[in-house]
Amino acid sequence: MIMRKPYILALASLSLFAGCKDFSFMKFGEEPLAVVGNKSLYMSDIKDIFYKGITPEDSISLLRAHVGGWVKTQIKIQEAEQLFAEEQDEFDALIESYRNSLLIYKYDRSLSSHVDTVVTNAQMTEYYNRNKEQFRLVGPVVKARILAFPSDYRQAKSLKKLMESNSSEDYQDVVDIAEKSSFYYKEFLDKWYYFKDILSDIPFNQKDFDAFLKKNKLYEYRDEKNGITYLMTIYSYRNTGDYIPIDMISRTIRTAIINQRRTEYIKQKDDSLYNDALSKNSVSLNIDTVSVFAPSAVTVSDESQKTKEADRTLEEEREASDREEERSSSEEKSEREESEPSDKQTEEPNDTETGEQSETEKEKVSDEERSSEEESIAADDERSGDGDAATE
């Protein structure tokens, strides 16, 4: 690919109009501002970069910067195209895949606008109860309030009793006293809070949060160094592993219900599109089970038959070899046994060691000779049978 040298045109003519605050009258001809290879940039492509009230100097600088950036980008793209030319098919497949995914995503998003987003408390409660095991606390949560006041405060004991009380009157008295005396006072009662998160407002030296919450409703800490007493009242709590209170995850549940509706609605539309396409003959399905799988099955069968025949031939060759070895062994044994009596007959008798041959030994020799003759006959019969089998 031959890359043409990039060039920029029409900048001088633009300066004639740069003093104007409205570029709507400008005509955008066919002469390109810049060309890189086979790519061209026209004024009509970048007219939206100019804004009302831009100064002549800024308009020229903006145009130069935009065109220069476009030229550099095109040069880099074309260089990359040359470098990865052999991977063009892969790039095209990736681009097609991304395009399809983007289209489907935008289509599904457009369908989502038709989904009902109203979720009632009853629906959230039903979803929560059905999926309760999925909602477990990873740490204790509480509803509490914290009060801090000077340790030498004369009504400290009365204030402590008020903090322990559950009555609405005593609760309001604490609020009024704290406000009147400018004591530090903070409530964590509007929702559930993880216990660890509220401890930043009070010194706390307990390590086992769950054990502490089980045993204590009121926590008191005296900062002797600074002369301050802290009181923390625990109104409600749930320990680690308990079910998450539904009001802590109401937003999560609402989102889950809407997403479930969206998924079901999109699936219904997908099924409807599919069925409509089939009914209108817009889809042609040419899956022929026989034509698709039969050739493969035949091929497998042929290969299997060839393998079986090869195995059978190999087995026959091994059997023939075994028979030949057995025949040779029998002949050698027969010859050896036939020669043993003649050897014994030629030997000089040793009267001191053996004496005369007894009748029993003679019978034994005769039996061995008969056995040798029978084995020789059997071997001849077997060879004859092998020859007949080979002839067949």
Q: Tell whether the model's pLDDT for residue 161 goes beyond 50.
A: yes
**Based on the domain organization, do 211 and 308 belong to the same domain?**
no
Question: Does residue 99 sit within a domain?
Answer: no
- pLDDT at residue 282, as a whole number: 86
Task: With H, G, I as helix, E, B as strand and everything else as coil, classify residue 237.
Answer: strand
Q: Are 142 and 56 in the same domain?
A: no
- Dist CA 261 CA 269 (whole Å): 12
Lowest mean pLDDT among 78-82, 288-292, 294-298, 326-330: 294-298
Residue 199 located in a structural domain: yes
- Statement to judge: residues 171 and 236 lie in one domain: yes
Tell me the pairing of strands 184-194 and 141-150.
antiparallel
Same domain for 142 and 77, yes or no, is: no
Closest CA to 212 of 224, 199, 200: 199
| Same domain for 370 and 305 | yes
Structural domain includes residue 260: no
Q: Is residue 153 part of a domain?
A: yes
Per-residue pLDDT band at 276 (split at 50, 70, 90): very high
For residue 146, give the DSSP letter: E
pLDDT tens for each residue of 196-241: 999 999 999 888 999 999 999 999 999 999 999 999 999 999 999 9
- Is the pLDDT assigned to residue 157 strictly greater than 70? yes
- 152 and 234 in a single domain? The answer is yes
Within-domain flag for 37: yes
Q: What is the pLDDT of residue 391?
A: 39
pLDDT at 362 over 70: no
Q: 320: domain range?
A: 291-340+359-391
Are 308 and 229 found together in one domain? Answer: no
Rg (CA), the chain: 51
What is the rounded CA–CA span in Å between residue 218 and residue 164?
Answer: 7
- What pLDDT digit, counting tens, does each position of 24-70 carry? 434 455 688 899 998 999 988 887 888 788 888 888 888 899 999 99
143, 237: one domain: yes
Domain end marker among 224, 242, 260: 242
- Asked if residues 66 and 101 have their Cβ atoms less than 8 Å apart, the reply is no
Among the candidates 83, 115, 145, a domain finishes at 83
Q: What is the model's pLDDT at position 250?
A: 95
Dihedral over alpha carbons 135, 137, 138, 144 (to 10 degrees): 150
Pick from 58, 83, 108: which residue ends a domain?
83
Residue 124 has pLDDT above 70, yes or no: yes
Q: What is the DSSP letter of 348?
A: P
Same domain, 234 and 298: no
Residue 56 within a domain: yes
Q: Kindly indicate the confidence band of residue 152, based on its pLDDT and cuts at 50, 70 and 90.
A: very high
pLDDT reading at 293 higher than 60: no
Which CATH number covers residue 231?
3.10.50
Q: Is this prediction's pTM over 0.75? A: no
- Count structural domains, the chain: 3
Inside any domain, residue 2: no
3-state secondary structure of 24: coil
Q: Is residue 283 part of a domain?
A: no
Name, in order, each residue with C-beta under 8 angstroms of 10's C-beta and a sequence gap of 6 or more. 31, 33, 43
